[in-house]
Amino acid sequence: MISYEIRAAVTGDEEQLLHVARHLNSVNLPNNRDAIHEIVAESHRSFSGAIQDPRLRQYVFVLVDRTKGERGTIVGTSMIIAQLGRRGVPYIYFDVLDEEKYSATIDKHFHHTVLRIGYSYNGPTEIGGLVLMPAYRQGPDKLGTMISYVRFLYMAARQELFQEEILAELMPPLEPDGTSHLWEALGRKFTGMSYAEADLLSKKNKEFIKGLFPEGTIYATLLPDDAQRVIGKVGAQTRGVEKLLRRIGFRYAHRVDPFDGGPHFTARMDEISLVSDTRRAKAGRPLTPSPSDPKGIIALEAPEPPYFRAVTASFREEGQRTLAIAEDAWEHLGLKPLSPVWVLPMP
């Protein structure tokens, strides 16, 4: 029996997804019932193709524990935002620059970190919304890897839908109550809003950032020490994500979130090893696995809900682009000989 499945988020997932969102409460997956309903509806319309412009799509994947409840229980999620930054809704960031100053007269040398606000109206594809419930973060099933990797499999399968540059925004160090020292030192003074209020509003409307934030450069030296320390730093909760991103081809872009200073990591699609490792194949036959058989994410698309499904299973190469696939996965996915599938090997 297949215990865990990844599928597209569809109508009816709202309450379970809200429960998962409470463990992150990010701008991509906020702990807000109305926002979650919008996110699920948008994902459903994206996978179904009802949103015709691929740049406007947002894909949400859910990890389901099929041993819990009649329909299973959602225990994790991840997402792809097809394009971050369009007319009316720009991608906004701070470039993080180094500047050196020296006076020969008094023989003084200073190194400054400078923030410069930037806007892009034809921005990158963004990956985000990665959450796994705490009880599922340890164990041999590698569920965190599975829900993270599936985004790259999908981008590899449908590269024409996404931008050449891929972005991941990582959470910086925050206080236990969610306070951002950078926001308190900078953003609040120019907007009069709390971090949570501004974060939620920016999901749909970024005009207030462009209208109220200072243009030009900001010397971080003028900010309190606790605000300076978080610029471009990765919080404890996302250090594992940083390690994964660096391993598969991402690098720090010397850009940060203008709200909390969280670092932006980027890579071109063709630089990401997981995209290169993903390939299209045809199902050959059911397989009784042996310990030597590799394991990977086996995925397929369908024209009806949930549109996309994936499981982790053993497989074996059989002829050109043909895979024998473990019997339980074969049955669970409803495969037939020559069914088109996508496979991404797991570590």
User: 3-class SS at 306?
Assistant: coil
Average pLDDT over residues 47-74: 94
If we measure between CA atoms, which residue out of 161, 155, 87, 86 comes closest to residue 127?
155
Q: Which of 41-50, 233-242, 256-265, 276-285 bottoms out in mean pLDDT, i.e. has the lowest?
A: 233-242
Domains of the chain: 85-120+164-277 (no CATH), 278-345 (2.40.40)
Pick from 148-157, 202-211, 241-250, 264-273: least confident: 202-211
Rounded mean pLDDT of 28-45?
Answer: 90
| Percent of the chain surpassing pLDDT 90 | 79
Model confidence at 119: pLDDT above 80: yes
Q: What is the mean pLDDT of the chain?
A: 93
β strands within the chain, DSSP E: 4-8, 58-65, 73-81, 91-103, 108-120, 125-132, 165-169, 217-219, 251-256, 263-268, 279-287, 295-301, 308-317, 322-326, 340-345
What lies within 8 Å, CB to CB, of 314 at 6+ separation is: 287, 289, 290, 293, 294, 295, 325, 326, 329
Q: Is the pLDDT of residue 196 over 90?
A: no
pLDDT tens-digit map of 300-327: 999 999 999 999 999 999 987 899 999 9
- Closest-CA residue to 206 (of 69, 345, 325, 90): 90
pLDDT digits (tens, 9 = 90+) for 127-146: 998 999 989 988 888 999 99
> Is pLDDT of 67 > 80?
yes
For range 42-54, the mean pLDDT: 96
Q: What does the DSSP 8-state code read for residue 90?
A: -
141 vs 103, 128, 346, CA distance in Å? 59, 21, 11
pLDDT at 30 (0 to 100):
82
Q: What is the pLDDT of residue 92?
A: 93
Q: Residues 146-195: pLDDT tens digits?
A: 999 999 999 999 999 999 999 999 989 988 877 899 999 999 999 999 98
Percentage above 70 pLDDT, the chain:
99
In the structure encoding, which two tokens stand for residue 163, read together?
Answer: 């931008």
What local confidence, expressed as pLDDT, does residue 87 receive? 80
pLDDT in the model for residue 199: 80
What pLDDT, on a 0 to 100 scale, did the predictor assign at position 177?
78
